[in-house]
């Protein structure tokens, strides 16, 4: 029996129209580094988005579901592109300006971007790539920067402001099926080529509603959100869409992501909320300690990307900024969990523990844990397994390229369509996720899992240890066993037996999990973003480059 | 270009499973009138819902999308039915126990209900109807009440608790298309037969997300909501679904809707939120004035159904209960608008004015105003037209009966599928709706509209007037003109000229809107729910029963 409800699609267009019409006076404030920030109302930005859509269609010939790329900081123009491109039926492709050049080239070619909108300040990054980007015909430049860098490039160059000036302020928006593509973002996997995640109008709409739910970020038009998380990174966690849905004001840092300017914009613009990764926020803390400012407006900070160290969380509590963990990934739009403590824990000793978890799943994100043998594990806060998730804003495949089938690699998607997150952790009986490791780093020993992260944290709590990385190495009897690679502090005296004994003390680590293989290294190899690069250690071990002691 | 998102349907089943799994310790507290209230966790209620689904299928043979009716108060068992029935693929049909017997009979027969779950206390209402309900085969009785009233009825009678006892606590829920029917509710129109509105899984899911958005009711698991608005009235404004989505506790009054018990349950159970119609809330105020109680927990009250008089709103402000207007109807699930003042008005003189409006449209509810000539009117806070709405939880038709096409009467649905609400009002430039009249009561005079309500309010503000109703009567020159029917206070001396002059004073009413036709009546005829029954006045005028003076 069919319902008698209207069949109205959930689209980005609807969010745009609503934001302009009902929340027209809400503001996007973009930091300019000097003098007054740029201030633009939702009505102005939305109207300019309509003009941009007209320009893209009429002047640049964008039709159908062509991809239009952005290589931009967080600013009002980027928000305009966020709404113009999907609303006209095209696909917004945000380019991650932190990626190595070869990956950027791969991504633009794979998506077959024909137009790139770029901030002038990023032309030094884009210009050298253009000879390798045969699909790109148009480059639209916004904001300050040296245009001469584009001299000789085989593209048509447009000034953003000139392009949209005088364009019509209405557009006959196409009827869009909510399952059609609206935006895409490539993941920078550590192995293989980047993979494209394609968001639908439906997934963006539902995700925006979720972000605005009181139990998630729960902001209203009384709030101003400092959107530090980049717009090229999973749609800035959905904030530009969520804000247009309910009139939340946005404060955009543009390229001024250093602790000094961030402290300055908080003091002068008084945001109530911020969204950022821990490293940025750690830098802000150092800045505020060196030079105190009035940051009292900022009471809620959503932290994701990686876990916030407890000490950092406490330091911000002291400043009156309450940090709230969230977990997600490019494949999850990204809101997968958010760590609002349950009612019974509020004001008790349990509360901080809940805040240190990755958070609780909302209704739209189903979760399950898969153990080493493929078995389903209980939600008991003890059983650690790989997290798999399902939901209307969770990826079920990767973009296969124009005309090609979507990619569903078996290590990323289960046979029944769930996303294998590659994260290992536990889920409590009340639905709180605690991540303990990455699946690729976990040590699979005799059908059980050993967390490399737990071993590393325990090792690094020893006073003689500067750094420690634990990787899985092949073992005849157990399949895999942990190898402890340790950087000792200068002048330290502890030997491996002592360290092993330290790990065993007071039940820090179960006996069967203790490493037999140990080695001293000069420093732990790191990736470009500063994470431990365990691939290198595994290769060094395999090639016999490490001097390993077996206890 | 299709997205790579998973195709996961939005279903009531998902809300149920989530509520049990993640918010299992949240509570449904049902008032029992004496002693301890009944307390049931979401895990318990959800598990009982699963058992109910098993019983309905295995013992009562409910299959496919059969309708299962409830004739129940707000209580935990009704919540169980709310989740069991849609999750198994059947359709929950809530029966309005305030309807006249003939309408109830029509509704049950039209929906072809085969099962009725009834509270024992409502058997005096149901039993006499059963001989007229040939499709009903099973009656399931829950809670106290005289079962002997069912003696001799041609139905199988079941005890709710016996039926579910020992039933399996798992159910292999069917895969449901989100556009399938989940629940239905008939509107009691003042003319013609009641019309069935059929909610989909999708519409209920989206509506629940909206209710939980910070800018709407915005409750979390730290809240307890006193759900006074009946579950048979537009799904209790979506609260049972919204609460299971985020773990909001529910306080259910069962049949104890009198001011005394309401005051008592607020004092002892300390809800933070309540949802009710103004008449119930007016009664509570009188009670609290006569017998003060500690109601300080209750800080937010959502009022809908009709506008809350300003004096009542102020009186509750004084008690610390902040009343928030919402507007909707059976056809809108019901959340159409909610009156959270915009940020710029908070703490200013404008704030109260915003709170008196019906509220602001959320992103999912598109709105437009249609004038007397069918023209679209601007959102200027001045132009009054009939409100038409569109959205994923707005009806686009009525249920036509089993196997029949849906009904789309032209006075209720526009050609392009929008719902004509029958409400007349204005929309401000920032999207706030102010209703001024019902479309059927507005006076269409020379291509312009005159609000009967504005005239009535102005008349009733005269010290000599006890009550006044204004209706449209035919006029040769203008099409329609207002007829003022006035109930004078005892001993009053004002004549019609005086009253007309009073209306004209200080621009209360525009000159061209002033009534020429006046009559004194003993009392204004009322409907069963206490509203002015203008049909009667129009008929009396048409039949020459009124003594009309023309000025």
The torsion of the CA quartet B463, B466, B471, B477, rounded to 10 degrees, works out to: -40
Which of A266, A254, A338 lies closest to A298 in space, CA to CA? Answer: A266
A21, B391: Cβ pair inside 8 Å?
A: no
Of all residues in chain A, the percent with pLDDT exceeding 90 is 85
Of the partner residues B199, B214, B222, the one whose CB lies closest to the CB of residue A343 = B222
Would the pLDDT of A381 be above 80? yes
Residue B172 has pLDDT above 90, yes or no: yes
What is the phi-psi region of residue A447: left when phi exceeds 0, alpha when psi lies from -120 to 50, beta otherwise?
Answer: left
User: Do A179 and B3 count as a contact with CB atoms less than 8 A apart?
Assistant: yes
**Residues of chain A with C-beta less than 8 angstroms from the C-beta of B395:** 4-6
Give me the mean pLDDT over the A485-505 stretch. Answer: 92
Domain range A336-434, CATH class: mainly beta
Partners of A431 on chain B (C-beta within 8 Å) are 21-23
User: B42-58 vs B12-22: helix axis angle to the nearest 10?
Assistant: 140
CA distance A473 to A251: 47
- DSSP annotation of B316: H
Q: Which residues from chain B sit within 8 angstroms of residue A362, using beta carbons?
A: 246
Q: In this model, does residue A249 exceed pLDDT 70?
A: yes
DSSP-derived pairing of the beta strands B195-200 and B249-252: unpaired
The alpha carbon of residue B115 and the mean position of all alpha carbons in its chain are separated, in whole angstroms, by: 24
* Annotated domain spans of chain B: 12-335, 363-439, 441-550
Task: Please answer yes or no on whether A2 and B399 come within 8 Å at the CB atom.
Answer: no
Task: Summarize pLDDT for B502-518 with one digit per residue, the tens.
Answer: 999 877 888 999 999 99
Q: Is the pLDDT higher at A454 or at B126?
A: B126
Provide the pairing of β-strand A181-187 with A91-94: parallel
A324 neighbourhood in chain B, CB within 8 Å: none
At A278-294, the pLDDT tens digits run: 888 889 999 999 999 99
pLDDT at A2 over 90: no
Q: Which class would CATH give A12-260?
A: alpha beta
Residue A191 has pLDDT above 80, yes or no: no
Residue pLDDT, tens place only, A48-78:
999 999 999 999 999 999 999 999 999 999 9
SS3 of B136-194: the string is CCEEEEECCCCHHHHCCCCCEEEEHHHHHCCCCCCCCCCCCCCCEEEEEEEECCCCCCC
- Identify which of B299, B335, B344, B340 has the alpha carbon closest to the alpha carbon of residue B319: B299
Mind telling me how many Å the CA of B203 is from chain A's nearest CA?
7
Write the ipTM. Answer: 0.94
CATH code that applies to domain B441-550: 3.30.300.30
**What are the angstrom distances between the C-alpha of A524 and each of A436, A437, A516, A551?**
20, 17, 19, 22
Phi/psi for B159 (5° steps) reads -90, 130
Interface check A156 vs B, CB under 8 A = no
Q: What residue in A sits closest to B430 (Cα-Cα)?
A: A22
Give the 3-state secondary structure of residue B276: strand
Q: In chain A, what are the helix, strand and coil shares in percent, each to the nearest 5?
A: 30, 25, 40
Q: What is the CATH number of domain B12-335?
A: 3.40.50.12780
- Binding-face residues of A in 302-341 toward B, CB within 8 A: 340
Do A109 and A85 touch, CB atoms closer than 8 A?
A: no
Please indicate if any CB of chain B lies within 8 Å of the CB of A274. Answer: no
Q: How many CB atoms lie within 10 A of CB A364?
A: 26
The fraction of chain A above a pLDDT of 70, given in percent, is 99
On the question of pLDDT at A265 being above 70, the answer is: yes
Average pLDDT of the segment spanning A379-397: 97
Which residues of A176-259 form beta strands (DSSP E)?
Answer: 181-187, 195-200, 224-227, 249-252
CA–CA separation, A307 and A277 (whole Å): 9
pLDDT at A294: 95
Contacts of B196 in chain A (CB under 8 A): 4
- Dist. CA A78–CA A82, nearest whole Å: 6
Backbone angles phi, psi at A366, to 5 degrees: -85, 145
To the nearest whole angstrom, how far is the Cα of A534 from the nearest Cα of chain B? 30
Q: pLDDT tens digits, residue range B235-248? A: 999 999 999 999 99
Q: Is A210 on the interface with B (CB under 8 A)?
A: yes
Which residue in chain A is spatially nearest to B8 when comparing CA positions?
A: A392
Q: By CA distance, what is B212's nearest residue in A?
A: A213
Q: How confident is the model at residue A349 (pLDDT cuts 50, 70, 90)?
A: very high
Best of B9, B63, B214 to substitute, by most chain A Cβ atoms within 10 angstroms, is B214
The distance in angstroms from the start CA to the end CA of chain A is 69
Q: What is the DSSP string of B475-529?
A: ETTTEEEEEEEEEEPTT----HHHHHHHHHGGGSS-GGGS-SEEEE-SS--B-TT
- Residue A370 pLDDT > 70: yes
A 25-44 residues inside an 8 A Cβ radius of B = 25
Q: Could you say which architecture CATH assigns to the domain B363-439?
A: Roll (2.30)
Rounded mean pLDDT, B287-298: 95
B-contacting residues in A 424-443 (Cβ below 8 Å): 429-431
Catalytic option among A31, A73, A449, A518: A449
Minimal-distance CA residue of chain B relative to A368: B21
Q: What are the helix (H) ranges across B258-379? A: 259-269, 278-290, 310-318, 350-356
CA B508 to CA A238: how far, in whole Å?
48
Cβ neighbours of B415 in A, within 8 Å = none
The reported pLDDT for the residue numbered A508 is 82
Give A494-531 as a DSSP string. --HHHHHHHHHGGGSS-GGGS-SEEEE-SS--B-TTS-
Burial tier of B436 (Cβ tally within 10 Å: 0-12, 13-18, 19+): middle
Tokens of B435: 């209703």
Chain B closest-CA separation from residue A139 CA (Å): 23
Indicate if the pLDDT at residue A435 is higher than 80: yes
Torsion region of B137: left, alpha or beta (phi above 0 gives left; psi -120 to 50 gives alpha): alpha
> Measured between CA atoms, how close is B431 to chain A, in angstroms?
5
Confidence of residue B529 (pLDDT cuts 50, 70, 90): low
Strand pairing partners for A323? A301
Which residues are within 8 A (CB) of A347 and not within 5 positions of it... i.e. 6 or more apart? none
Instruction: Identify any residues that bridge with B127 across adjacent strands, giving them in sequence order.
Output: none
Residue A529, pLDDT > 80, answer no
Q: Within chain B, how many helices (H) and strands (E) appear?
A: 16, 27
* Closest approach of A401 to chain B, Cα-based (Å): 10
pLDDT tens per residue, range B83-114: 999 999 999 999 999 998 999 999 999 999 99
Quick: pLDDT tens for B366-413.
999 999 889 999 999 999 999 999 999 999 999 999 889 999 999 999
Query: What pLDDT does residue B37 have?
Result: 98
Active site residue A291: no
pLDDT at A190: 60
Residue A290 CB partners (closer than 8 Å, separation 6+): none
* A92 phi and psi angles, rounded to 5 deg: -75, 125
DSSP character at residue B330: G
Res B191: pLDDT:
67
C-beta of residue B33 within 8 angstroms of C-beta of residue B254? yes
A444 in catalytic set: yes
Q: How far is CA A516 from its chain centroid?
A: 36
Instruction: Quote the distance between the C-alpha of residue A44 and its chain's center.
Output: 28
Instruction: Return the pLDDT at A386.
Output: 96
Nearest CA in chain B to A91: B1
**CB-CB under 8 Å, B14 with A363:** yes
Alpha-carbon distances of B17 from A269, A315, B11, B172, B389, rounded to whole Å: 43, 38, 10, 12, 32
């Amino acid at each position: 029996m069919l319902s008698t409800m209207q069949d109205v699609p959930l689209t980005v267009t609807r969010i745009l129209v609503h934001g302009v019409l009902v929340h027209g006076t809400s503001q996007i404030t973009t930091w300019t580094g000097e003098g007054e920030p740029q201030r633009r109302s939702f009505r102005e930005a939305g109207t300019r988005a309509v003009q941009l859509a007209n320009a893209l269609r009429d002047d640049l010939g964008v039709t159908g579901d062509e991809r239009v790329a952005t290589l931009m900081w967080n600013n009002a123009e980027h928000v305009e592109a966020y709404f113009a491109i999907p609303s006209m039926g095209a696909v917004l492709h945000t380019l991650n300006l932190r990626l190595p050049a070869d990956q950027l080239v791969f991504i633009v070619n794979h998506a077959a971007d024909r137009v790139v909108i770029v901030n002038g300040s990023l032309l030094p990054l884009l210009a050298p790539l253009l000879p390798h980007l045969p699909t790109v015909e148009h480059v639209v430049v916004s904001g300050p920067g040296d245009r001469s860098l584009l001299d000789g490039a085989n593209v048509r160059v447009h000034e953003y402001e000139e392009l949209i000036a005088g364009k019509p302020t209405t557009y006959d928006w196409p009827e869009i099926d909510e399952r059609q593509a609206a935006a895409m973002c490539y993941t920078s996997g550590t192995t293989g080529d980047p993979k494209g995640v394609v968001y639908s109008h439906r997934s963006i709409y539902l995700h925006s509603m979720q972000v605005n739910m009181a139990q998630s970020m729960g902001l209203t038009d009384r709030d101003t959100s400092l959107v530090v998380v980049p717009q090229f990174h999973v749609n800035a966690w959905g904030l530009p869409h969520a804000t247009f849905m309910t009139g939340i004001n946005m404060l955009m840092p543009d390229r001024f992501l250093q602790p000094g300017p961030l402290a300055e914009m908080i003091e002068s613009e008084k945001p109530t909320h911020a969204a950022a990764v821990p490293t940025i926020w750690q830098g802000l803390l150092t800045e505020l300690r060196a030079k105190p400012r009035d940051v009292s407006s900022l009471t809620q900070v959503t932290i994701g990307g990686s876990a916030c160290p407890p000490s950092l969380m406490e330091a911000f509590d002291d400043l009156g900024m309450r940090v709230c963990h969230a977990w997600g990934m490019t494949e999850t739009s990204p809101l997968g969990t958010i760590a609002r403590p349950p009612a019974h824990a509020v004001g008790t000793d349990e509360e901080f523990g809940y805040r240190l978890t990755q958070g609780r799943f909302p209704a739209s994100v189903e979760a399950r844990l898969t153990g080493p043998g493929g078995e389903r594990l209980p939600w008991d806060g003890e059983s650690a397994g790989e997290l798999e998730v399902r939901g209307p804003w969770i990826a079920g495949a990767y973009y296969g390229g124009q005309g090609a089938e979507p990619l569903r690699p078996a290590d990323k998607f289960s046979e029944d369509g769930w996303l294998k997150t590659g994260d290992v952790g536990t889920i409590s009986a009340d639905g709180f996720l605690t991540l303990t490791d990455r699946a690729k780093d976990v040590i699979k020993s005799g059908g059980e899992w050993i967390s490399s992260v737990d071993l590393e944290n325990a090792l690094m709590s020893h006073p003689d240890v500067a750094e420690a990385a634990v990787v899985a190495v092949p073992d005849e009897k157990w399949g895999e066993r942990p190898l402890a690679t340790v950087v000792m502090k200068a002048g330290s005296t502890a030997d491996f037996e002592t360290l092993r004994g330290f790990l065993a003390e007071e039940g820090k680590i179960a006996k069967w999990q203790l490493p037999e293989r140990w080695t001293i290294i000069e420093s732990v190899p790191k990736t470009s973003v500063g994470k431990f690069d365990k691939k290198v250690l595994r290769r060094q071990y395999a090639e016999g480059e490490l001097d390993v002691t077996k206890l």
